[in-house]
């Protein structure tokens, strides 16, 4: 059972009122609809017709609506149980472009379905790969998932495109106001105002865009001119397959799967005040839902999909993570495929409003990544894993074309800052784990050593192991209590041999000394005896020690006492 964090208005298991659920569902769709640009990009690049683009967007609504609802399921073998909407993600754009140019839309859809099958298979083995994804790796992936959106968001925020390479004052002003309104309501708004902060900001952005002429009358007319009801043409282009396209699509699926892992890790963390580590079961079920979503995409005739990091940023920002919102968003998306008038509201979204909304959500995503990384103690090994991965990940956007000359087989692996950073983090984590022992021994001499020695040894080792700070602190405190008790156990001139063993779930300390076991009081010694050190110090140290450990016991071996302390990690 998880504990709902206090900053959430509606946690994952909460059931907001129906009207609130629907409005929050719509708010998520405003973010998802920004990705409708990707089908248009693909169509433009491969030279298909505008009608094909319309069909692709319509199928995108159906496919992502299905998988968004599927992802929210918390019963049965599929679905992570979290509000984690999916969209036709940029992860599949490079592979789809290759396939589209080689074999048209049918090849894109066939290979997307295959990628979905691969993702589904990968989901069944990912549970056994926890050690490859410690918090510094998943945190870096979550951070880069946010960073990856920056090159898409920033040009839209400043009104920059191929026709306008410089900052455009008017679009920039609209974006700035949209962001200010959204952030303002999010920071200072209470209750519903915070809940709907993005919707309020976007409404302001639409209104100002209309007043400024960025949103034209002709665009607005699209809502009026669109049909009220229309049956979508499912599977219009069929499917075809090519072995040459296998590698790019498998890489896209892997990248999407890792992104799912990063995003679902964030979902776990934001919904549990006591979050400690990645929980692989919901990751596996969530990844399977993504795979099923991609199979659906292929069958329906839509682009490959992956989870939307921006929507998770929105959940954090608004404090609403109820899975009911996932069902609502999925249902509305499916309805939109049948009601083009409804879809048109999102299709005409002004570019500066898109830029401002994306930047707003990216802020939360980046912070979530940093928090996951910093949930563990960091040493120089982890500094390199995180630092190098971010540096080489960012190099993709910072130095355009840097990896263009590489072998075409390798190119999909280096197709985005996220893919690069993820590969770096996973590989570097494996490399830097070499030579790390899970056991460490040291000695304490009560006559000369102080708490400083225990702090130094344990903090260094905690960093090497990537342990949770609070667990290491509890172990340090308990060891110090033994040091405090030493003079009263006759250990002043003797040594205490410490042996510390760590794995992801346990931290065990064994202290061996020449002396007798001591009594562990079940209650705090009386305050009236505290002035008498001889009478109270040992009992107070033993009692305090017992409060830090999860379990403790004594044994005797070769005439020496062994004190066993167990800490849950």
Partner 1 sequence: MSKMEIIHSLIKDIPVLIVSGKIDAVTAKDLETALTGHIDKNKKFLVIDMEKVEFLSSSGLRVLMASLNRLKQRDGDLLLAALQPFVKDVFFLTGANRFFSIYPNQGEAINSLKI
CB of 12 or CB of 483, closer to partner 1: 483
Closest CA relative to residue 469, chosen from 104, 461, 26: 461
Mask 462-481, x = binds partner 1 (CB under 8 A)? -----------x---x--xx
| From candidates 128, 192, 460, 547, binder to partner 1 by CB under 8 A | 547
Phi-psi region of 86 (alpha: psi -120 to 50; beta: other; left: phi over 0): beta
The string of DSSP letters for 236-279 reads: TT-----GGGHHHHHHHHHHHHHHHHHHHHHHHHHT-TT--S--
Near partner 1 in 429-458, by CB under 8 A: 450-452, 455
User: Considering only residues 150, 537, 552, 564, which one is a binding residue for partner 1 as defined by CB under 8 A?
Assistant: 537
Closer by beta carbon to partner 1, 58 or else 539: 539
Q: How near is the Cβ of 540 to partner 1 at its closest, in Å?
A: 5
| Token pair of 559 as six digits | 């005439």
* Radius of gyration over every alpha carbon of the chain, rounded to an integer in angstroms: 28
- Nearest-approach distance from CB 533 to partner 1, in angstroms: 7
- At 561, give phi and psi (nearest 5°): -90, 135
x-marked contacts with partner 1 along 151-190 as a string, rule CB under 8 A? ----------------------------------------
Per CB under 8 A, the segment of 84-92, 258-266, 360-368, 524-532 that binds partner 1 is 524-532
Q: Is 541 in the site for partner 1 (CB under 8 A)?
A: yes
Distance CA 336, CA 58 (A): 8
Select 403 or 473, whichever has its Cβ closest to partner 1: 473
CA 137, 85, 263 angle in degrees (round to 5)?
10
Decide if residue 371 touches partner 1 (CB under 8 A): no
Query: Smallest distance, Å, CB 531 to partner 1?
Result: 4
DSSP 524: P
SS3 513: strand
**In degrees, to the nearest 5, what angle opens at C-alpha 73 toward C-alphas 70 and 74?**
155
Q: Is 274 in the site for partner 1 (CB under 8 A)?
A: no
Residue 299 CA to residue 297 CA, distance in Å, equals 6
Q: How many residues are present in the chain?
A: 569
Query: What is the closest distance, in whole angstroms, from the C-beta atom of residue 497 to partner 1 in the complex?
Result: 19
Cα 117 from Cα 332, distance rounded (Å): 26
At 557, phi and psi to the nearest 5? -145, 130
Q: Which of 125, 163, 527, 559 binds partner 1 (CB under 8 A)?
A: 527
Which x/- pattern, by CB under 8 A, does the window 481-500 give for partner 1? x-xx-xx-------------
- Closer to partner 1 by Cβ: residue 346 or 567: 567
Position among 3, 187, 524, 554 found at the interface with partner 1 (CB under 8 A): 524
Neighbours of 208 (CB within 10 A): 21
Query: Residue numbers of the site for partner 1 (CB under 8 A)?
Result: 450-452, 455, 473, 477, 480-481, 483-484, 486-487, 524, 527-528, 530-531, 533, 536-537, 540-541, 543-545, 547-548
């Amino acid at each position: 059972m998880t504990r709902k964090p206090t900053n959430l208005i509606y946690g994952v298991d909460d059931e907001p009122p129906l009207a609130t659920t629907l409005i929050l569902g719509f708010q998520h769709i405003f973010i998802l609809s920004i990705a409708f640009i990707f089908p248009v990009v693909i169509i433009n690049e491969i030279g298909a017709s505008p009608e094909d683009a319309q069909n692709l967007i319509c199928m995108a609504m159906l496919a992502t609506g299905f998988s968004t609802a599927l992802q929210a399921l918390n019963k049965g073998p599929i679905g992570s149980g979290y509000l984690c909407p999916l969209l036709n993600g940029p992860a599949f754009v490079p592979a789809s472009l290759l396939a589209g140019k080689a074999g048209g839309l049918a090849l894109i859809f066939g290979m997307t379905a295959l990628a979905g099958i691969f993702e589904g298979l990968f989901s069944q083995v990912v549970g056994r790969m926890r050690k490859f994804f410690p918090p510094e790796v998943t945190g870096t992936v979550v951070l880069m998932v946010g960073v990856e959106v920056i090159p898409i968001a920033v040009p839209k925020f400043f009104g920059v495109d191929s026709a306008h390479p410089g900052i455009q004052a008017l679009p920039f002003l609209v974006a700035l106001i949209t962001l200010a309104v959204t952030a303002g309501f999010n920071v200072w708004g209470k209750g519903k105002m915070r809940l709907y902060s993005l919707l309020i900001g976007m409404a302001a952005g639409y209104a100002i865009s209309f007043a400024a002429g960025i949103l034209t009358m002709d665009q607005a007319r699209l809502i009026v001119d669109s049909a009220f009801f229309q049956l979508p043409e499912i599977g219009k282009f069929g499917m075809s397959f090519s072995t040459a396209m296998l590698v790019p699509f498998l890489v896209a699926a892997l990248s999407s799967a890792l992104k799912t892992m990063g995003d679902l890790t964030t979902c776990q963390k934001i919904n549990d005040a006591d979050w400690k580590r990645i929980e692989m079961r919901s990751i596996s079920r969530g990844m399977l839902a993504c795979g099923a979503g991609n199979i659906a995409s292929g069958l329906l005739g839509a682009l490959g999909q992956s989870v939307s990091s921006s929507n998770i940023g929105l959940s954090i920002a608004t404090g609403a993570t109820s899975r009911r919102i996932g069902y609502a968003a999925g249902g509305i998306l499916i309805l939109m495929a049948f009601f083009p008038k409804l879809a048109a509201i999102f299709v005409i979204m002004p570019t500066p409003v898109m830029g401002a909304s994306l930047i707003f959500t990216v802020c939360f995503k980046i912070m979530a990544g940093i928090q996951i990384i910093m949930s563990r103690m960091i040493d120089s090994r982890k500094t390199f894993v995180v630092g190098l991965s971010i540096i080489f990940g960012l190099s993709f956007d910072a130095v355009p074309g840097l990896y263009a000359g590489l072998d075409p087989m390798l190119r999909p692996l280096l197709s985005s800052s996220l893919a690069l950073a993820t590969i770096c983090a996973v590989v570097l984590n494996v490399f830097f784990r070499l030579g790390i022992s899970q056991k460490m021994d040291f000695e304490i001499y009560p006559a000369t050593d102080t708490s400083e020695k225990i702090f130094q040894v344990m903090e260094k080792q905690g960093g090497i192991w990537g342990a949770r700070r609070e667990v290491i602190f509890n172990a340090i405190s308990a060891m110090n209590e033994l040091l405090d008790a030493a003079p009263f156990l006759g250990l002043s001139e003797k040594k205490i041999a410490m042996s510390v063993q760590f794995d992801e779930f346990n931290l065990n300390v064994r202290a061996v000394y020449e002396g007798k076991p001591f009594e562990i009081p079940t209650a705090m010694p009386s305050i009236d005896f505290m002035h008498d050190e001889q009478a109270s110090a040992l009992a107070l140290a033993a009692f305090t020690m017992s409060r830090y450990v999860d379990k403790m016991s004594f044994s005797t071996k070769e005439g020496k006492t062994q004190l066993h302390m167990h800490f849950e990690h």
